[in-house]
Amino acid sequence: MKLSIKDRINKSIKASKANVFVRSDFKKFGGYDQVGRALKEVIEAGNLVKMGYGVYSKAEKSALSGKPIPIATITEAGLMVMNKLGVKADVGYFARLYRDGKTTQIPMKEVIAVEKPITRKIYFGKRVLEYEKYK
């Protein structure tokens, strides 16, 4: 029995160590429209959540609402997507200060530093990833 595109995508997601995917990760399963329809079904089933144009994350059920939420944070998703797109990126300036132990202030905004201008919007709910110039 031949697996449907939806089943092949689900199998690929479960087997993958990555938590974030871009649409091109699924192009081997069929045409653009076919993959789009299959991804929509996978999202409705709660296995993936959409985090922007062509950006998807593995999902888990929220303990509070029972709705699917991304496994990866917005910052993690942004860094993984930039890596897949071949763009040099790191966490934002204030997050780097916190990570390196130079401050105890925890940054509240989701920010990543990128080497070139990016227009791709990565979000979940009301939280939106912001970009700054890589220094």
- Please enumerate in sequence order all residues whose Cβ is within 8 A of that of 61, keeping only pairs 6 or more positions apart, or say none: 46, 67, 68, 69
Could you tell me where in the chain the CATH 1.10.10 domains are found?
5-69
- Supply the pTM of this predicted model: 0.88
CATH class entry, domain 5-69: mainly alpha
pLDDT band at residue 82 using 50, 70 and 90 as cut-offs: very high
- Please enumerate in sequence order all residues whose Cβ is within 8 A of that of 125, keeping only pairs 6 or more positions apart, or say none: none
The pLDDT of residue 78 is above 90: yes
pLDDT band at residue 3 using 50, 70 and 90 as cut-offs: confident
